[in-house]
Structure 1
Amino acid sequence: MSIGIVGGGIAAVHLGLALRAADVDATIYVDRDYAEMAAGPLLNTVVHHSPTVARERQLGVAHWDAAEYGYARHHHSIGGPDPLRFTGDFTHPSCAVDHRLYLPALAEDYQTRGGTIHVRAIGPRDLSALAALHDLVVIASGRGSMSGLFERRARLSPFDRPQRRICAGLYTGITRPDVEGVGVSIVPGVGELLEIPLLSRHGRVTALLFENIPGTPPAALLDRPGGTAEFTRAVLDTLRTHHPATFERVDTSAFTLTDPRDLLQGGVIPAVRRDWFEIEDGVYALALGDAHVVVDPVNGQGANIAAYSAAVVAHYCGPDVVYDELFCREVARAREAVLVGASEWTNLTLAQHPRIERVLRAAARDPQLADRFTDNFDHPDRQWEVLATDRRAERFLRDDLRALNT
């Protein structure tokens, strides 16, 4: 039995590692080698929440101990006419490592364990050739010519354009808070900022992920060339005006991008796509990672649900498995709740739905509720169950109040 994996991100390498652990032959097809990736521009500013950290331990690739490099707190803030700040703690720590360090290290582990990597661009026209080589083809790349390979699920994909203008970069000159954690700043009508302690090739730095609503003044960050004095001034002005909880810890004389390559600007169109299709002769293409579900990074879920999905796929694979339509259906059913939950919750956040602010304001008054809300970043299906409707949110608040009074 042989499985081909198209793509080189976390979903691909986690799946490859898990398949090798199960003694399943696996080949990863990636369009550039990992040495080039390591020396290239910023890929993302992702955080790995504790379920992903636990999977890394299970796979034997926990090279960065979350107890040493991670954090276990969110510093929440809401701006606007009635600002507030509060903290919420995780049960287990999360960790953020630059994927230019992370992915090459895991790819090396995969090869050491007998996995194969081919550096070549794969497009839709190559699928027939892959189907002749493998019993299952997993598509874990949703970019370029592969972006429309799987049909969008219209009900779960309400947007036809990016909902945020994203400006992500790595910076020095920001003092870390007394208790390490991620800053989550929400400004109604303007957007959000995630402030992330991240391990990079420069050591420990601060990642700033601006999620700016199109048409607002902060969205103009994307119109300024990165690494220039003009860009730095614009970032500082945005922090000063909209995200004071971060700006208070900035040394303006030392604040700068760590490197011109450490900046990523653009936007994503959130989408949930069909899980599989038949290539030919009973060989199926199974969607994974960005080829399957794309979420805006505002809630920090993308890499985590990709790793989760890879673990589900690996669970159903084995030397004696029949990789047919029934297999694809079983995988789809098993991962649906978490993936759709993450997507729906993220889309609700992008809408800045008042239900979320109501829960946050209640959490600011109740540390136990704040911890539960924060810990649900580890469990997007649970968070969606809390936030899906007003009645569910009210029950969440009511149940937490009961627990507090018993």
Structure 2
Amino acid sequence: MATVGIVGAGVAGLHLGLALRAADVDVTLYTEHPLEDLAGARLLNTVAHHHPMLERERALGVHHWPAEEYGYAAHHHYLGGAEPVRFTGHFTNPSCAVDHRLYLPRVAADLADRGAKPVVADIGPRDLARLGAQHDLVVVASGRGPLSGLFARRPEHCPHDAPRRLLCAGLYTGVRAPEPAGVGISVAPGHGELLEIPILSRHGPVTALLLENEPDGDLAGLASLPYDDDPARFHRAVLDALAVHHPATRERVEEREFALTHPLDLLQGGVIPAVREDYLPLGDEKFALALGDAHVVVDPVMGQGANLAAYSAAVVAAEIVTDTVYDEQFCLRVARAREEVLLAGSAWTNLMLDPPPRIPELLRALAADQRRADEFTTNFDHPDRQWRLLATPRRQREFLAGDRAEGDRRTTWSIQRSAAPY
């Protein structure tokens, strides 16, 4: 029986472990801290899980928060400027957002119940050779701390060496939900974006506001504005930002009720997007395979991070259970199997971080075409499909021209990957 050591207990590591245990593969999960400690930790992210990821959760038996009850099925777009534009796109199937401080400990408990061996240890690069001697394969699913940068960047897929957005994410009360329930995506040209996300937290259903601020824009200071020193000043700064740059959200705020749900429900900083090498040798014909944030990191502006991680974990699990030798040939096969979706998710996100003039043109065209607005929205589930539509000006023109019937396009895209369809 194969034995796999997984370093990191985020979405990627947990989903991989669950899929491997379902195939009776021996799994040891290495975590820096006990996951139950997350309940009292600072906000980790404001991620949404899209339909393909929810389907994987159902298959793995960890879909504890049904999208039919906790989810949403629309994106409400606002493009600011001299002539503001609004439109709504509808998903074919709902998405769902759950605070990962609830999600990760619950899923980790499921994994432990199914026989994975949890080990709390501070694993660094020098420990990987030792793990390689203990396991047939080591999978590094953590891109933080001492393992940050372990796998070399692939320059051709890394256009940024610094954060393109300065982030200010928090959970708030006092924001009335849009109709129908959905995520708000507001674009303030030259200043950044706002993602307004209905999310289930320890406080119940609340609203996550993720302000993605351009470093040279009016709102950049929100990423470093302290909350604890003067909560009222912080709240006023956020409200002012919404009023000036994201009015589609501000108009639904009840000012007297608007507040951060807890001082720890705030996350500020930035993300450096990166695509890294798929694997590295550990000696003695053993290898470490990159997964999740150790492999591909995207800015959260398009909501792809956890979804790409879950997809990649499914591909890796499928390759592990259909092989018995985890050598370089195995690593190269994994790289080929997952590359299209992961690179598409990264490239699409980077395009939206540095949008050429054709992107505002796209949004204005979608506002006048409900069918394509819905297709664009549903393709948040499928970044490879989205990238095929938007990768070049010609492809975008073809998408908007709509000369091909929608049925023809869907038929082309219905071909499923045998290992792990996105």
Place the TM-score, normalised by the shorter chain, in its bin: over 0.9
In structure 1, the residue matched to 2:235 is 232
Deviation, structure 1 residue 402? 6.0
Greater Cα offset, 46-55 or 227-236: 227-236
What amino acid is aligned across from residue 237 of structure 2 in structure 1? A
Q: 2:300 & 2:179 partners in 1: Cα distance?
A: 25
Contact residue 71 and residue 94 of structure 1 kept, 8 A: yes
Q: 2:180 & 2:332 partners in 1: Cα distance?
A: 44
Change (3 A) 1:251 1:132: same
User: What are the within-5 Å matches in structure 2 for residues 121-200 of structure 1?
Assistant: 121-200=122-201
Q: Does the residue aligned with 2:361 lie in a helix, a strand or coil?
A: helix
Q: 1:398 aligns with which of 376, 401, 414?
A: 401
In structure 1, the residue matched to 2:318 is 315
In structure 1, the residue matched to 2:340 is 337
User: What are the within-5 Å matches in structure 2 for residues 196-345 of structure 1?
Assistant: 196-227=197-228, 228-318=231-321, 321-345=324-348
Q: 1:400 & 1:249 partners in 2: Cα distance?
A: 39
In structure 2, the residue matched to 1:384 is 387
Greater Cα offset, 312-321 or 8-17: 312-321
What amino acid is aligned across from residue 350 of structure 1 in structure 2? L
Change (3 A) 1:400 1:93: farther
Listed one character per residue, the Cα deviations across residues 207-249 of structure 1 (whole Å, up to 9, x for unaligned) are 0000000021211112321251111110000000000010000
Deviation, structure 1 residue 19? 0.4
What amino acid is aligned across from residue 154 of structure 1 in structure 2? P
Q: Does the residue aligned with 1:334 lie in a helix, a strand or coil?
A: helix
In structure 2, the residue matched to 1:370 is 373
Q: 1:352 & 1:401 partners in 2: Cα distance?
A: 26
Q: Does the residue aligned with 1:48 lie in a helix, a strand or coil?
A: coil
Listed one character per residue, the Cα deviations across residues 154-206 of structure 1 (whole Å, up to 9, x for unaligned) are 01001110000000000000111121000001111110000000000000000
> Unaligned 5+ residue runs, structure 1?
none
Listed one character per residue, the Cα deviations across residues 267-288 of structure 1 (whole Å, up to 9, x for unaligned) are 0110000001111101100000
Listed one character per residue, the Cα deviations across residues 62-103 of structure 1 (whole Å, up to 9, x for unaligned) are 100001100010001100112100000000000000000000
RMSD: 1.2
Identity of aligned residues (%): 62
Q: 2:133 & 2:216 partners in 1: Cα distance?
A: 49
In structure 1, the residue matched to 2:349 is 346
Q: 2:144 & 2:223 partners in 1: Cα distance?
A: 21
In structure 2, the residue matched to 1:36 is 37
User: What are the within-5 Å matches in structure 2 for residues 7-26 of structure 1?
Assistant: 7-26=8-27
Q: Does the residue aligned with 1:316 lie in a helix, a strand or coil?
A: helix
Listed one character per residue, the Cα deviations across residues 40-74 of structure 1 (whole Å, up to 9, x for unaligned) are 11000000000000000000101000011000100
Q: 1:221 & 1:352 partners in 2: Cα distance?
A: 22
Q: Does the residue aligned with 1:192 lie in a helix, a strand or coil?
A: strand
Contact residue 224 and residue 230 of structure 1 kept, 8 A: no
Q: 2:323 & 2:145 partners in 1: Cα distance?
A: 34
User: What are the within-5 Å matches in structure 2 for residues 39-188 of structure 1?
Assistant: 39-188=40-189
Contact residue 186 and residue 194 of structure 2 kept, 8 A: yes
In structure 2, the residue matched to 1:27 is 28
Q: Name the count of aligned residue pairs.
A: 404
Contact residue 224 and residue 268 of structure 2 kept, 8 A: no
Q: 1:400 & 1:47 partners in 2: Cα distance?
A: 33
Q: 1:325 & 1:403 partners in 2: Cα distance?
A: 41
2:378 paired with 1:358: no
Deviation, structure 1 residue 318? 2.1
What amino acid is aligned across from residue 314 of structure 1 in structure 2? A
Deviation, structure 1 residue 399? 2.0
Q: 1:92 & 1:212 partners in 2: Cα distance?
A: 30
Contact residue 52 and residue 308 of structure 1 kept, 8 A: yes
Q: 1:353 & 1:293 partners in 2: Cα distance?
A: 23
What amino acid is aligned across from residue 97 of structure 1 in structure 2? V
Q: 2:390 & 2:405 partners in 1: Cα distance?
A: 19
Change (3 A) 1:118 1:271: same
> Unaligned 5+ residue runs, structure 2?
408-422
Q: 2:27 & 2:65 partners in 1: Cα distance?
A: 25
